[in-house]
Structure 1
């Protein structure tokens, strides 16, 4: 925020941007009206850690309309200050700014946890990890389904967060967490088609480079990787895929992509995009194989898929070329170009847009209805990570088909 921009001015700008987004999120509008009548979240404080941008603001309005008290923070590097200012003006407690350091971001997440929410809306399982540290084994043994935390359950947005819930946090949470990214509806609509589209758009927006004829290496052929590869090829890109899972690699080969190991393909690529959810995908060994001038971009939630500390340790010089573009000079006269410091780049740079409005209308409707299930009937769900209930998915699929005019 510039010294000349007041919080009030930011809030006005944020409200105007949200008005456009809200007008196109028709699925969420219907459930917001129902929530306003039924108040499913009355008496609940929802603690959120999720990208703070206009589409998320519409989700938070929907939850607030349903009676929720909202305490929220964004993810590191993706917070939009005008949206924060607007939400604060709507009576929500919102922590964070776009300029926050990683340390401050962690403090923001801790502040949400310290507010002692009864329901979580998590992205990357950061809030779940803090809650796990507060679980009282004696309370669990005594039959308290919240484990002394006061949390009755919640949702997790991402693949990365789902992995943490099923590995690092497995068996440590006595309450249910619905993993939205387990939804086939979200996988197809948001991850494949919307992430695929937004990643390609973001590369063009941040770098102003052409897609047609350029050589791209996509690391990971899950739903997001499938979409990124598809949209790159649709715009004329030459696409290769690096995938360690045999069946996904087989699928990528049959879909017509060049397939191999990331080290073997690194020297061929002009742009490398990570979309795996796992740490240390682009390592020093991969960097050694890269051609001069290769662009490195990450589409995953956590800034760990590109080993940025390791890359910087190899560097003999670094230069910021533009917002979200950094030149990293390497020994031997080579350089690479790193986008958004290895953070999720489709919400980085100037005027970030992220996923399409319609896809987030779908994804956030999954969030809203899953949170409603948690609020109304947590006992119907099992403890720990689990998929979106099938009935919710099918209800939304029917609504989305009707909205698209796809009559059956």
Structure 2
């Protein structure tokens, strides 16, 4: 497929998505009139897929110059090609190695953005490592994982405001619980062609994403257990009717194991070795570190890709497990990945848009470092979303 054909395919896909995102449509109209991003260069590291394209079009309508890259393994090349026809500077391809992805992040920083649209804290960490904090007025961070980095390893090192979109209760309900829950179930069925009813699923983590995954799997007839180290969340999962235990206890019981914690090493090799033959491993967290894939490969006696995003790994004990998307976020993997629903991303990306607008127009009124979405933005979007859903009819 030529670059022109690729861009045309991306344009057609984005056309459909754009037509179903009314919140961003209104924002594009508003921002085109006010131009709050005029003179600003936004450095982006975010999953590049059709819904992201509509967000970037919206920011560009407000005057922003976009320089960005996708996240490792989730970039959709036709969408990149389309956005490049709009004059955006985007780096990376779907088949980039992790090293190439890291190089793309550095290329974004080489462009000297003064605002960040970050996902996982990669750009913020790069700015701190380079000592170029003074050139930034602020930005947004999409994920729990990135918020944890800003409050952990980067605590006190980021002298500009970073609004953590995932701190928003609105996003937690609309996108993390309902959209991630839906997309994980859809992606499991699409990638594996396996049925959900009657199958035993073990969900690691009962935060907002884990809640959604557990509830949507059960709604389709799955038998669901939860692994959760936080006593209060474990208590909630138990009262919600899920079996609650630890990983080693559930390893022989489960058919499918899905990590949704944002933390590294929650599914170690010693737990995988206790699983039944043919168990399926999948991760929906941002970073590919929740399943110990490196340790699993080191322990394996053989492996091979069966179909796209489905890998068989043979263990020394004579059993095998099936790893989806190499341990990366599997709800943006496989053929024709869909990700979260259009409505949820319309909401989530409006949170991004209005939060970035707040940084562009009132950075001095925000504190340095990680912080939640301002309450007035949350409530404004909640009202708009209720109207879009025709909730009163």
TM-score (norm 2): 0.99
In structure 1, the gaps of 5 or more residues are 137-146
Distance 1:104 1:331 in 2: 33
1:161 correspondence with 2:168: no
Alignment match of 1:351 (pick from 336, 348, 353): 336
Alignment match of 1:75 (pick from 46, 71, 76): 71
Alignment match of 2:250 (pick from 243, 252, 265): 265
Alignment match of 1:91 (pick from 78, 87, 90): 87
Alignment match of 1:7 (pick from 3, 10, 22): 3
1:386 correspondence with 2:371: yes
Match of residue 16 from structure 1: 12
Map residues 4-403 of structure 1 onto 2, 5 A cutoff: 5-135=1-131, 147-148=133-134, 150-403=135-388
Q: Which deviations, in whole Å up to 9, do the C-alpha atoms of 1:343-375 show, x marking residues without a partner?
A: 000000000000000000000000000000000
Structure 1: 4+ residue segments shifted above 3 A: none
Distance 1:98 1:135 in 2: 30
Distance 2:183 2:67 in 1: 28
Note the C-alpha offset of 1:403: 1.0
Note the C-alpha offset of 1:332: 2.1
Q: Which deviations, in whole Å up to 9, do the C-alpha atoms of 1:239-284 show, x marking residues without a partner?
A: 0000000000000000000000011111100000000000001102
Alignment RMSD:
0.8
TM-score (norm 1): 0.95
DSSP 3-state at the match of 1:332: coil
Match of residue 139 from structure 1: none
Whether contact under 8 Å (1:135, 1:173) holds in the other structure is no
Distance 2:19 2:343 in 1: 11
Distance 2:326 2:298 in 1: 14
Distance 1:172 1:12 in 2: 43
Whether contact under 8 Å (2:120, 2:141) holds in the other structure is yes
Q: Which deviations, in whole Å up to 9, do the C-alpha atoms of 1:148-182 show, x marking residues without a partner?
A: 2x110000000000000000000001000000000
Note the C-alpha offset of 1:135: 3.1
DSSP 3-state at the match of 1:386: strand
Note the C-alpha offset of 1:291: 1.0
Distance 2:81 2:269 in 1: 41
Match of residue 142 from structure 1: none
Distance 2:6 2:369 in 1: 39
Distance 2:7 2:305 in 1: 30
